[in-house]
Amino acid sequence: MEKTLKTERIDLLQGDYEKGVQRAAQILREGGIVAIPTETVYGLAADATNDAAIAKVFAAKGRPQDNPLIVHIAGFETLYEISADLPQSAVSCAEKFWPGPFTMVVKSSGKVANSVSAGLQTVAVRMPLDNAARDIIAASGRPLAAPSANISGSPSPTSARHVINDLDGLIDAVVISQDCAVGVESTVVSFAGDLPRLLRPGAVTLEQLREIIPDIAVDTAVLSEPEKGAKAASPGMKYKHYAPKTETFLIEGDSKDFTELVNQKPDCLAVCFDEESEKIRIRKICYGSANDGKTLANKLFSVLRQVDEIPAKAVYIHAPSKNGIGLAVYNRLIRAAGFKVIVL
């Protein structure tokens, strides 16, 4: 798309916070699209009841039309307006994990625009923890649909700078606030089928979910490539995603094997854990300690963006453990690698 808009900067850090919130809300009420901070990643927000505004979001991101959007709300009353037949298990999860990095897919009441759900009978709903996000939603008086504020397929944005790099000139405004505290997108659980089903792992972990809904199923797309032509439970998970332009491989194995492999590849780049850095003799980027999943998640997307600034024949990323938030990091990395996983 041609970059023809003058993207307004709404700075909540240096400017007047309340004025900034009101300005973002005004643009949203008028049908504009605004990048807003959340605790997970920056979102590209639009009024979820306005089909024309939603169409602008799909166009700016270059997003496939069959990939539905998450609706962001500031209070429980909106959940009851936009959903129907809520099961008790969904209500229990919302009470436990909201506000926070947790999204639930439930039956839609038909209140949000059809294009938000990309023709499905369900709607994905989340109440974010970030104060600015909730203040902007409340001030707009609308539920806000907000996919990650990146060009479709590229790593999700965890800072206002990432948003500007991708979308300057394509959106009406960007709200400038702190970098995202979590760094990976919300956990998505569907309550629309027989059993609750994890569609996308995030900072609300599978272990935490099992305490509330012990019968939760894990969708096969969480850990492996969806079969070609199969109907995806979560359309977003079927795409190659988060991918650097450099050819990317995900490597499973211990530190010794990983180090040996990459040291034979002088033209390549390694993305490694802090503690193995010293032994790696090729160019490298560290993304945290192997047993500190929160830091790995927090650095993941900026590291994937950094990869393309270093010319290399290929990049080899050391896979984290799949426990806790590590499952979310692993899930994003197999997509960044286009499902090219090497087990040592």
Q: Which residue is nearest to ligand TXA (CB)?
A: 236
* Residue 258 CB-half CA count within 13 A: 27
Q: Closer CB to ligand TXA, residue 81 or residue 247?
A: 81
Near Mg ion by CB under 5 A: residue from 50, 83, 115, 148: 148
The string of DSSP codes covering 291-332 is: T-HHHHHHHHHHHHHHHTTS--S-EEEEPPPSSTTHHHHHHH
User: Which of 41, 10, 42, 13 has the alpha carbon at shortest distance from 139?
Assistant: 10
User: Which of 160, 164, 165, 163 has the alpha carbon at shortest distance from 176?
Assistant: 160
Q: Closer CB to ligand TXA, residue 110 or residue 266?
A: 110
Q: Which residue is nearest to Mg ion (CB)?
A: 148
Q: Closer CB to ligand TXA, residue 43 or residue 324?
A: 43
Tell me how crowded residue 41 is: count the other CB atoms within 10 A of its CB: 26
Q: Closer CB to ligand TXA, residue 124 or residue 285?
A: 124
Rounded to a whole number of angstroms, the minimum distance from the CB of residue 164 to ligand TXA is: 16
Tokens 């659980």 belong to 189
- Select the span of 145-153, 160-168, 187-195, 293-301 touching Mg ion (CB under 5 A): 145-153
The burial class, CB within 10 Å (0-12 / 13-18 / 19+), for 121 is exposed
Rounded to a whole number of angstroms, the minimum distance from the CB of residue 327 to ligand TXA is: 15
Question: Which parts of this chain interact with ligand TXA (CB under 6 A)?
Answer: 38, 40-41, 43, 67-70, 101, 103, 105, 117, 120, 122-124, 126, 146-148, 185-186, 188, 199-200, 234-237
Strand, coil or helix: 125: strand
Q: Closer CB to ligand TXA, residue 38 or residue 115?
A: 38
User: Which of 200, 191, 204 has the alpha carbon at shortest distance from 101?
Assistant: 204
Q: Which does 68 bind (CB under 5 to 8 A by kind): ligand TXA, Mg ion, none?
A: ligand TXA
# of chain residues touching Mg ion (CB under 5 A): 1
Please give the helix or strand (H or E) that residue 211 lies within, else none: helix 206-212
- Select the span of 143-151, 166-174, 221-229, 330-338 touching Mg ion (CB under 5 A): 143-151
- How far is residue 32 CA from its own chain's centroid? 22
Q: Closer CB to Mg ion, residue 148 or residue 205?
A: 148
Alpha-carbon gap, residue 119 to 117, rounded angstroms = 5
Q: Closer CB to ligand TXA, residue 105 or residue 285?
A: 105
Helix, strand and coil in the chain, % to nearest 5: 35, 20, 45
Binding mask 304-333 for Mg ion (x = CB under 5 A): ------------------------------
Alpha-carbon gap, residue 122 to 104, rounded angstroms = 10
- Select the span of 118-126, 140-148, 319-327, 328-336 touching Mg ion (CB under 5 A): 140-148
Q: Which does 187 bind (CB under 5 to 8 A by kind): ligand TXA, Mg ion, none?
A: none
Rounded to a whole number of angstroms, the minimum distance from the CB of residue 179 to Mg ion is: 17
- Specify the amino acid at residue 67: N
Rounded to a whole number of angstroms, the minimum distance from the CB of residue 148 to Mg ion is: 3
Binding residues vs Mg ion (CB under 5 A): 148
